[in-house]
Structure formats: structure tokens, C-alpha cells
A and B are shown apart, each in its own frame.
Chain A
Amino acid sequence: MQPDSTRDLTVGLFVLIGLSTLAYLSLKVGGLEFSPGERIELHATFDDIGGLSVRAPVRIAGVKIGQVSDIGLDEDLRALVSMEVDAGLPLSIDSSAAIRTSGLLGDQFISVELGAEDDVLKDGDEFTFTESALSIDKLIGRFVQNSGVSD
């Protein structure tokens, strides 16, 4: 088999293009991270998590800093959410975690709002202040109730 340099080149290009599309799908679309970096685990309890699911993003001011790693119930049967968050962020211990929705029907995520204390949250700590998911059902229910009373 005589070596054919044009053919070898196009085959090389083909493999390169194929691999780069796969890399795009894995890294950008699929969100694969090779070196996740240092992570700490934080917990928060909510009365109602709405439609929050595992791997939902955790954001500060809209910027993603981590994701939900586990959802369960604590002893008081409240929703216990564990999340992995980038280490090294100075999250003061009186920060609050709220469940928000992106858009009207979009995915739910946890939004962290910073507090004022100097001490910061460490691995395994729990958020003191939380705000449950805003449920459209409940909103509508409350609205109907209110209008009923005023009549």
C-alpha cells in the first residue's frame, strides 16, 4: 500500500473534526468537567423545593458556582438539599439560599444571597436562612382566596 499523503491528511482532518465536535458536545453542551477543582458540600433545608432536581445549578448573582448533589428528607421531614459549591468563595455564614425559577416555565435553581458576617461557611455547614420555591399553584390559590375575602 503506497502512502498517499493527501488521503492521510484528509483522514487526519476528519478525525480532528469528529473529535472536536465530540469535545464540544461533552464539554460545552454536556457540561463535563475534567478537573472539578476544590469543592465543599453545603446543606440547606426547605419547606418546599418545588420542582428542584439533582444537578440543578447553584448561582450567585446569576453566575453558576456549583450544583445540587443530593435531595432528601431530614428528621423533621423537611426537604434537605445538599450541594457542591466551589471552594474558596467567601460565603458569609448568614448567607441565604432561595429556590428560584429561570423564566416562567424554566428550570429551577438555587440562588445564594450573601450576608454581612465576617465568618464564612465551611465544608458541611448548613444555610441558616432559606426561601422555598415559589409555587404557582399556591400563588393562584392565595390570589383566589384573597379576592374571595374582599368580596
Chain B
Amino acid sequence: MIGGLQRPDSGEVRVAGHLLSALSERELGEVRREIGMLFQNGALLDSMTVFENVGLPLIEHTKQSRAEVRKRVDAVLEAVGLGRDVEPLLPRELSGGMLRRVAFARAIVMEPRLLLADEPFSGLDPLNVVRIEDLLTHLNRDLGLTIVVSSHHMASSLRMADQMVLLHDKKCVVGTPEELASHPDPAITEFIGEDGRAYLARLHELQQREDP
């Protein structure tokens, strides 16, 4: 909905000052060039190679030469930990983790100001989860990218998030990870779970040890 793929039943969505529901599909296109989206299943075009998939937004929307596109694609693929050897492969020849990382590369190749990530951790092994987490944190902390993540993966969310929104039973609760962990509603603390609380407690300890 933030990307404008679906229109809200009621209320309004504003991205960078644009009221999305008031825009036509073409005007939405202008806004979307500032947005990168990471789909849950990658949504890579399965008739095109990895290189073509990642380079597609560049070829479509910029006047960069073939060599510049190649350089940029190499760079973002390296940023997600993939080598040039995957470029001629088709999406169906990749493993789930690689697929997710290629999709990630495509989402950031245009250097968006906002990154939407739909369930970036689901169906991945722990190693890949950490890798994606690092990437997201790096983009957010070092490059100043706004990132919206939807996830059921509580541990990752608690580790990374500045602000969390919990949707539960038609209600939503907003707060930092710490605020939510000590929320009075037992349904919410249960959702965050034992692991989450233990993690937060340890994080808290670490911070106190560093702070003084």
C-alpha cells in the first residue's frame, strides 16, 4: 500500500509529501522511482538473467551506458555478497537465499530514499537472516535510507528496529522495541516472546556496560 499497488479503503497514505491515493498510475511511477521494494518471493522476472533483472531499472530509467550499468550492477551484487559468476544465471537456477539477495540488489540499484521490505527473513536459514539483517542495518545507519520492514521474525525485528508497529486483532501498537517489551497488554508481551525479552535484557546489559 505504501508503494501504491493497492488503494486504501479509507484513510490516506503519504510518502515524502505525496498523497498516493490522489495520484494517477503515471504520477505514482515518479514516486516509485524513489522507492525500492523487496518482495517476499523476489518477484524477479524469470525469463531474464540476474544481470538483466538487476540492471533493468537502470536501463529503463537512466541514460547510463552499457559499461556504467555493468559497473553499478557488479557493485550492488558485491554489496549483497554475490559475485559476477551469478550474473548470467536465471532466477530459477538460484537458491532461496541467493534469490532474496538478488532481489535486494535490484531494490537498491536505483539508490532509493525509501526501501520497503516484505518479509525479508521468511524461509531463510539463520546465516542468510544475519546477512540480510546486516545489509539492512548498514543501509539504514550508514547511508541514511528509510526502511520499512514487515516481518514475523521477532528476534530480527527487535534487533534492528527503531520503531515497531504491532498489528494485533484490528488494533495497532506503536513503540520502540523496549516500550513494546514492557507493554501492559499481555497479548503483546506474549507475541514478543521469551526469546525477545531475553535478547532485550542482554542488549540492555551490554549498553549499560558501555555507557558509564
Q: Which residues from chain A sit less than 8 Å from chain B, CB to CB?
A: 1-2
Q: How large is the interface on B (under 10, 10 to 19, 20 to 34, 35 or more residues)?
A: under 10
* Chain B interface helix/strand/loop/mixed: loop
Please report the C-alpha to C-alpha distance between residue A1 and residue B52 in the assembled complex, in whole angstroms.
Answer: 7
Q: Does B49 contact A (CB under 8 A)?
A: yes
Contacts of A2 in B (CB 8 A): 49, 52
Q: Does B48 contact A (CB under 8 A)?
A: yes
Contacts of B48 in A (CB 8 A): 1
- List, sorted by A's number, 4 A–B pairs whose CB atoms are closer than 8 Å: A1-B48, A1-B52, A2-B49, A2-B52
Please report the C-alpha to C-alpha distance between residue A2 and residue B48 in the assembled complex, in whole angstroms.
Answer: 8
Please report the C-alpha to C-alpha distance between residue A89 and residue B73 in the assembled complex, in whole angstroms.
Answer: 73
**Residue of A whose beta carbon sits closest to that of B45:** A1
Please report the C-alpha to C-alpha distance between residue A1 and residue B49 in the assembled complex, in whole angstroms.
Answer: 8
Contacts of A1 in B (CB 8 A): 48, 52
Please report the C-alpha to C-alpha distance between residue A2 and residue B87 in the assembled complex, in whole angstroms.
Answer: 12
**Residue of A whose beta carbon sits closest to that of B56:** A1
Please report the C-alpha to C-alpha distance between residue A74 and residue B52 in the assembled complex, in whole angstroms.
Answer: 75
Chain B proximity of A3: nearest CB distance (Å): 12
Chain A proximity of B44: nearest CB distance (Å): 14
Please report the C-alpha to C-alpha distance between residue A2 and residue B53 in the assembled complex, in whole angstroms.
Answer: 11
Contacts of B52 in A (CB 8 A): 1-2
Please report the C-alpha to C-alpha distance between residue A1 and residue B45 in the assembled complex, in whole angstroms.
Answer: 11
